[in-house]
Chain A
Amino acid sequence: DVKVTQSSRYLVKRTGEKVFLECVQDMDHENMFWYRQDPGLGLRLIYFSYDVKMKEKGDIPEGYSVSREKKERFSLILESASTNQTSMYLCASRRAGVETQYFGPGTRLLVL
């Protein structure tokens, strides 16, 4: 079974803090993704990565950056957290060329 894990289920941070969200997959997938999920808006893509050290902006990259130093790990970074970044963050991975994405359980982030 594919397993995608996220470092925290719940996080509370203060405005201006630097926040790291970590995602690890154990199936040697090339592609990894970060989404945010907000009520009524569905899942919106923040960044994705084709492979190690490669990254592409998604639909809403502003205020976020990413890092992919190892194939199994994809990190989302909020350089200076703001209250409008309060959301559910979902990580996903997939094998290159296959549509199916496998999701982690999500990190619910609250920025005060």
Chain B
Amino acid sequence: GQQLNQSPQSMFIQEGEDVSMNCTSSSIFNTWLWYKQEPGEGPVLLIALYKAGELTSNGRLTAQFGITRKDSFLNISASIPSDVGIYFCAGSNFGNEKLTFGTGTRLTIIP
């Protein structure tokens, strides 16, 4: 099955820095989702994007639905220790029950 490519695979940043990660696909999606997984837990939805070019914010998080519909970006501003975790992108198409997940970006914050 298809998987989405996420980059970077891992990030080590200092508290207060901004974070950028992206997700690319060889095929288009109608919906992009971003999930966060904290250690020992299941993924939790952060942001959902439904329209090409859409820019959506959730607190310090901002995500964009790429204009080609083959990519998406997630930015975190002024990172804090609780931002630690693995961030997954996921894509889906109308009428398809399945989500296709990215390989994940592991974020570590250095005190």
- Which residues of A does B touch, CB under 8 Å? 4, 9, 31, 33, 35, 40-45, 48, 50, 58-60, 90, 92, 96, 99-106
State how many angstroms separate the Cβ of B40 from the closest Cβ of chain A. Answer: 7
Given contacts A104-B42, A105-B41, contact A41 B103 (CB under 8 A): yes
Q: Bin chain B's interface residue count.
A: 20 to 34
Instruction: Look across to chain B and name the residue whose beta carbon is closest to the beta carbon of A41.
Output: B103
Establish whether residues A100 and B104, one from each chain, have CB atoms under 8 Å apart when the complex forms. Answer: no
State how many angstroms separate the Cβ of A54 from the closest Cβ of chain B. Answer: 11
Residues 52-111 of B at the A interface (beta carbon under 8 Å)? 88, 92, 97-99, 101-104
B1, B35, B101: residue with the most chain A Cβ atoms closer than 10 Å: B101
Instruction: Look across to chain A and name the residue whose beta carbon is closest to the beta carbon of B35.
Output: A103
Instruction: Look across to chain B and name the residue whose beta carbon is closest to the beta carbon of A104.
Output: B42
Listed A/B pairs (9) with beta-carbon separation below 8 Å: A41-B3, A48-B97, A90-B42, A96-B97, A99-B31, A100-B45, A102-B45, A103-B42, A106-B41
Given contacts A99-B31, A99-B33, contact A42 B88 (CB under 8 A): yes
State how many angstroms separate the Cβ of A109 from the closest Cβ of chain B. Answer: 15
State how many angstroms separate the Cβ of A89 from the closest Cβ of chain B. Answer: 10
Given contacts A44-B1, A99-B31, contact A4 B48 (CB under 8 A): no
With the chains together, A41 CA to B88 CA distance in Å?
11
Given contacts A50-B97, A103-B44, contact A42 B9 (CB under 8 A): no
Establish whether residues B1 and A45, one from each chain, have CB atoms under 8 Å apart when the complex forms. Answer: yes
Given contacts A31-B97, A42-B103, A99-B31, contact A59 B1 (CB under 8 A): yes
CB neighbours of A44 from chain B (8 A)? 1, 3, 101
State how many angstroms separate the Cβ of A6 from the closest Cβ of chain B. Answer: 8
With the chains together, A93 CA to B43 CA distance in Å?
12
CB neighbours of B35 from chain A (8 A)? 103
With the chains together, A96 CA to B48 CA distance in Å?
16
With the chains together, A43 CA to B3 CA distance in Å?
9
With the chains together, A33 CA to B96 CA distance in Å?
13
